[in-house]
Structure 1
Amino acid sequence: MDPGQLPFGGVVGAFLLAFPALFSIVNPIGAALIFSQVMADRTHEERALLARRVGAYSLMVLLVSLWAGSYVLNFFGITLGALRVAGGLVVAIRAWSLLTAPEVQEARKEQQAAPASDAEDAAFFPLTMPFTTGPGTISVAIALASARPASGFGLWAFFAGMTGAAVLVALSVWIAYHSADRLIALLGASGARVVTRLAAFLLLCVGVQILSNGIQDLLAPLFQHAATPGR
């Protein structure tokens, strides 16, 4: 899914690439159910304040990962094609684990969030890092950024779409955590698991597409060399 080739334009194309992937890996709905359990002894005002702070911190983590992550890797001499292949594999593997074993992921999330019940200010650690936007989310964001155009206006359009997706995901975190009790009453654990699996399938599709683009990047020089007359 090359955002520059989508008929909706670079900004919308990048948004459509990033939002399903980021929403799936962050999983605000499923995380909100755990947030409600861990924060059960806090007052409503405290939980609302924590939800707002976690949403803001999550946005910061996502933006730094999207804007700077792939450039840091390129600094070490990693080609864009290799970055896309590795990123696609990471996204696909994370999606497969979410799709096939959501119970394991939920248990791991509960362990990550457990220290928050006793912490005075748990907004950044552990509720943002690693509970909401942990290493998996950061790796997915870097993989998404690897699909960027080389340069020009398309590059800015791409990052504008990615930024919009990050903002909407962070807003979803804030709303879901703030309304965690209502979500529990509306969906319950089984309903949240269904949403998680649907989102994980979309994430798997995104990972396969990024991987496909990376393989094309790596193989393109070989095909061009073979097609050159006189070779």
Structure 2
Amino acid sequence: MSVAINAFLKALIVVPVTVLPILNPIAIAPIFLSMTGPIDPALSNRLAKRIAVNCFFLLLGAVFIGSYVLDFFGISIPIVRVAGGIVVGMAGWKLLNDQSQDKLLNSVAATHGGHWSRDELRRRSFYPFSFPLTVGPGTIAASVTLGTQMPHQPVDFLVISIASAIGVLLTSIVVYLCYRFARNLEKLLGEVGATVLMRLSAFILLCIGIAIGWAGISDLFSELIAQ
């Protein structure tokens, strides 16, 4: 029982710890503000909920279906782990050393600023807010990589799946809270606080990427030796 609980807690923590640094909703929150403009707080709250729901299903699909899609194209799990580990590690390294905002986020913010009607906000709750502003290619790649870590035993698969789903839910809730209280968060953390939090999360992300990649390399060597 203790082994199952430990596995559950580990899977529960790994998903937010891996995905949130790439999502980086704290850093995107100011861009979210500039894109929405001075809209009504109730309308901003509904928009944040829509974005969080969209992100939940995007991440859930990437975690549970992404690996099967890759398997359909004949890409083995160890290769996915190595490639995904490289992507996650590079994302962590970039966040750890990058001194500027992402160019894509800046371009989206510059293109879609100002005052929007409610209908326009509903249409854009998915694009560009949910994708690619929040859940981008790097996040999807990391989520697919996490999905490859699922065990094959039915009981273990069920436990890890439930934990991963809850982890995705927690991640989506963090996205909602960051967007919902973006103005308060911006005042509370300040530029220095947001930078420190991002660097710490980036270092953890780099370590997770190396661990995932090493697991894939170990599997490839095991397959090579077995031949």
Q: 2:31 aligns with which of 23, 29, 34?
A: 34
Q: 2:128 aligns with which of 101, 110, 126?
A: 126
Are 1:112 and 2:108 an aligned pair? yes
Q: Which runs of 4+ in 1 moved over 6 A?
A: none
Following TM superposition, by how much is the alpha carbon of 1:222 offset from its aligned partner in structure 2, in angstroms? Answer: 3.3
Are 1:155 and 2:150 an aligned pair? no
Question: C-alpha separation between the residues in 2 aligned to 1:111 and 1:165?
Answer: 30
SS at match of 1:41: coil
Percent of paired sites with the same residue: 32
SS at match of 1:148: coil
Following TM superposition, by how much is the alpha carbon of 1:152 offset from its aligned partner in structure 2, in angstroms? Answer: 2.0
SS at match of 2:75: coil
Residue type matched to 1:117 in 2? G
TM-score w.r.t. length of structure 2: 0.89
1:162-212 CA-partner distances (Å, limit 9, x unpaired):
111110010011111110111011011222121111111111111111001
Contact 1:116–1:127 (Cα < 8 Å) also in 2: no
1:40-67 CA-partner distances (Å, limit 9, x unpaired):
3322222111111111111111111111
Following TM superposition, by how much is the alpha carbon of 1:36 offset from its aligned partner in structure 2, in angstroms? Answer: 1.8
Following TM superposition, by how much is the alpha carbon of 1:10 offset from its aligned partner in structure 2, in angstroms? Answer: 2.4
Following TM superposition, by how much is the alpha carbon of 1:18 offset from its aligned partner in structure 2, in angstroms? Answer: 1.5
Question: C-alpha separation between the residues in 2 aligned to 1:49 and 1:82?
Answer: 40
Corresponding residue for residue 167 of structure 1: 169
What is the RMSD computed on CA atoms of the aligned residues?
2.0
Following TM superposition, by how much is the alpha carbon of 1:133 offset from its aligned partner in structure 2, in angstroms? Answer: 0.6
What residue ranges of structure 2 are gaps of 5+ in the alignment? none
Corresponding residue for residue 141 of structure 2: 139
TM-score w.r.t. length of structure 1: 0.88
Corresponding residue for residue 202 of structure 1: 204
Corresponding residue for residue 221 of structure 2: 219
Question: C-alpha separation between the residues in 2 aligned to 1:96 and 1:7?
Answer: 32
Following TM superposition, by how much is the alpha carbon of 1:109 offset from its aligned partner in structure 2, in angstroms? Answer: 1.6
Question: C-alpha separation between the residues in 2 aligned to 1:127 and 1:137?
Answer: 14
Corresponding residue for residue 42 of structure 2: 45
Residue type matched to 2:113 in 1? S
Are 1:66 and 2:68 an aligned pair? no
1:14-35 CA-partner distances (Å, limit 9, x unpaired):
1222110111111121111221
Contact 1:116–1:126 (Cα < 8 Å) also in 2: no
